Amino acid sequence: MDAAAKKVWANIKSKKFEPVYLLQGEEIYYIDLISDYIEQHALTESEKGFNQVVLYGKDVSVATILTHAKRFPMMSERQVVIVKEAQDIQDLQKEAGAKLLLSYLTNPLDSTILVLCHKHKSLDKRKELGKKADKLVVSITFKRPYENQLGEFISEYVADRGFAIDDVAIRVLAEYVGNDLSRLANEIDKVLIDSSKDAPIKAEAVMSRVGISKEYNIFELQKAFVLKDVFLAAKIASYFEQNTKKNPVIPIVAFLYSFFSKLLIASSLSDTSEKELVTALKISPYAARDYSTASRRYPATKIIENISLLKEADLKLKGVNSGNSEEGEILKELVYRLM
């Protein structure tokens, strides 16, 4: 769990609530996690009727929010005001609205828990509200995690639910789903539905439940490139050609472009140890071995050429100079030329 989120999470689970939580940033998973917990657990069911209100930014002004926040609770120690999609508050970007909110943040009501869920972006730090909010209230900015941080998230998420998962399965989830934590959590939940707590979850289970082909998948294609296994790469490309609906080619090209772009960075490093690759490429330790292996097989000139070939293939797939070629044919030709 994100370090800042972990601290807040521990406090709210111990019923230690603060008057204002400003939850902001591009990673919305922790924003939802914290706000949902407060919504569900800060008050008893009997207290919620008079003392809890959930608002949506696009429907309210700052003044409306503060009208709710400045009320005193009825037959309860506290009240809760949650503003979802706070980035859409009607006058938040206007000077008058920002000043009004800043005034409240300077002296919030102790009996109110105000939760502002400012998603997908942060307050403008060049403006007074953005500069001062962090110093006045519990304000956390959540950024998308790097690839090398996903393994810890997956392991923790699975363990919290009483399951175990092996390293290869973690890698498949991290590389296939990416660093959108909300989507990653949803995909893990799919895997857990039919899993047993008696044995670690394997990569095969992940592949079958998140829609990756058991026979061939993008990771096996990347592995073929890592090993420069021309026969295997051609075989996988032929399989994809026959199954382009299940294996659309544009995402495959994008995946390989990311691989060779990182490989180009790896080739420029004086130290290509796995530890150094994890730091420089911001990848998981599970992936570092592949980049270390591939960097010995592809000279920088070939990597640069391959990046150009991938750009060319991407344009063809989007209809530029493609002639009558089908996308499966474009992929097969691309794989051959990349090797």
List the one residue out of 254, 278, 252 whose CA is nearest residue 265: 278
User: What CA–CA distances, in Å, run from 51 to 47, 75, 203, 248?
Assistant: 6, 9, 47, 50
Helices (H), the chain: 3-13, 29-41, 45-51, 62-69, 95-106, 128-136, 150-160, 167-177, 181-193, 203-209, 218-227, 230-242, 249-267, 274-281, 285-297, 300-317, 327-338
What pLDDT, on a 0 to 100 scale, did the predictor assign at position 214? 57
Domain boundaries, the chain: 3-141, 147-209, 218-338
User: What CA–CA distances, in Å, run from 93 to 25, 101, 182, 242, 255?
Assistant: 16, 11, 27, 52, 38
The torsion angles phi and psi of 205, rounded to 5 degrees, stand at -65, -40
Please write the tens of the pLDDT for every residue from 68-127.
999 999 999 999 999 999 999 999 999 999 999 999 999 999 999 999 999 999 999 999
CATH label, 147-209, candidates 1.10.260.40, 1.10.8.60, 3.90.400.10, 3.40.50.261: 1.10.8.60
Residue 336 and residue 234 in contact, taking contact as beta carbons nearer than 8 Å: yes
pLDDT above 70 covers a percentage of the chain that reads 98
Q: Do 147-209 and 218-338 come out as alike in CATH topology?
A: no
Please write the tens of the pLDDT for every residue from 271-323.
888 889 998 988 888 888 899 999 999 999 999 999 999 999 999 888 887 66
What pLDDT, on a 0 to 100 scale, did the predictor assign at position 45? 95
Q: What is the CATH number of domain 218-338?
A: 1.20.272.10
* pTM of the complete model: 0.71
Does the pLDDT value for residue 258 go beyond 90?
yes
What tokens does 226 get?
A: 């890592």
292: left (phi over 0), alpha (psi -120 to 50) or beta: alpha
Separation CA 339–CA 332 (nearest Å): 11
Question: What's the rounded mean pLDDT across residues 150-174?
Answer: 92
Q: Which CATH class is domain 3-141?
A: alpha beta
What pLDDT, on a 0 to 100 scale, did the predictor assign at position 239? 87
Higher-confidence position of 177 and 262: 262
What tokens does 12 get?
A: 């709210």
Which of 56-65, 244-253, 262-271 reaches the highest mean pLDDT? 56-65
Q: 49-58, 90-99, 230-239, 318-327: lowest mean pLDDT where?
A: 318-327
Residue 306 and residue 338 in contact, taking contact as beta carbons nearer than 8 Å: yes
| Summary mean pLDDT of the chain | 91
